[in-house]
């Protein structure tokens, strides 16, 4: 979509974009479970691009019922935005902010980890299965009352404005351009930044409870 790859006219151009990181796609494949994926055909030179797409998806372990048609543009922008603001970048910073606040106020580090991170998959599963409204209906009255009272104090209108700026940077091509210009040294530096992005005590308990 951003113009960095220009395919020749004599080939089919298709997209299969699984809704999971690579390691999770592999795990689901080995477990014979299908995940969902965005798909698109932007160039059908042979007239068989759609059938190729379906066959490739099946080879990846993705069933036809889990394929969601979209465009290269919407997937490219939506994917970058989602992972930066919510799924990876936003969520990581929110978790660490909560963890650090508890620890700063005297809550043991292990307790802090268990309160703000360990239960995440259970809450996310409720949201995925029942929606946000359904999640609220299935948690305690204390959790429901407190969340509705304070959730918007944390994620307020300023967050939406900041998200708009991130969206514009992606959609305008500014972020993709930065990404495309990364050198090997830049990527190596990213690894160093990752190590500084968290705190050692949090990472210790993440490893501890991943084994249970």
Average pLDDT, stretch 179-199? 91
Is 41 in a helix, a strand, or coil? strand
Average pLDDT, stretch 161-172? 98
> Domains of the chain: which residue ranges?
13-70, 78-210
The C-alpha atoms of residue 42 and residue 71 are separated, in whole angstroms, by 8
The owner of tokens 């606040």 is 101
pTM for the predicted model, two decimal places: 0.88
The angle that helices 141-154 and 120-137 make with each other, rounded to 10 degrees, is: 100
Is the predicted pLDDT of residue 23 greater than 70, yes or no?
A: yes
83-141 pLDDT per residue, tens: 999 999 999 999 999 999 999 999 999 999 999 999 999 999 999 999 999 999 999 99
72-86 pLDDT per residue, tens: 999 999 999 999 999
30 burial (CB, 10 Å; 0-12 / 13-18 / 19+) is exposed
The C-alpha atoms of residue 44 and residue 58 are separated, in whole angstroms, by 19
Is the predicted pLDDT of residue 212 greater than 70, yes or no?
A: no
**Residue 81: enclosing H or E segment and its boundaries?**
helix 72-82
Q: What are the CB-based long-range contacts (under 8 Å, 24+) for 203-210? A: 205/109, 205/110, 205/113, 205/114, 206/113, 206/117, 209/113, 209/114, 209/118
The angle that helices 200-210 and 89-104 make with each other, rounded to 10 degrees, is: 110
């Amino acid at each position: 979509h951003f113009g960095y790859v220009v395919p020749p006219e004599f080939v089919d151009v298709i997209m299969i974009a699984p809704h999971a990181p690579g390691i999770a796609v592999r795990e689901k494949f080995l477990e014979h479970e299908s995940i969902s994926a965005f798909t698109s055909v932007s160039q059908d030179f042979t007239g068989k691009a759609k059938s190729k797409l379906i066959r490739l998806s099946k080879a990846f372990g993705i069933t036809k019922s889990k394929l969601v048609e979209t465009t290269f543009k919407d997937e490219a922008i939506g994917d970058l935005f989602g992972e930066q603001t919510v799924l990876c970048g936003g969520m990581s910073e929110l978790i660490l902010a909560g963890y650090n606040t508890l620890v700063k106020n005297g809550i043991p580090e292990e307790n802090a980890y268990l309160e703000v991170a360990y239960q995440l998959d259970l809450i996310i599963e409720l949201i995925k299965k029942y929606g946000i409204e359904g999640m609220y209906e299935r948690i305690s009255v204390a959790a429901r009352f407190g969340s509705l009272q304070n959730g918007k104090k944390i994620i307020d209108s300023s967050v939406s404005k900041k998200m708009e700026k991130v969206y514009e940077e992606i959609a305008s091509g500014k972020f993709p351009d930065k990404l495309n210009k990364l050198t090997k040294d830049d990527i190596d530096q990213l690894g160093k930044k990752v190590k500084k992005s968290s705190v050692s005590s949090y990472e210790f308990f993440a490893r501890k409870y991943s084994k249970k």
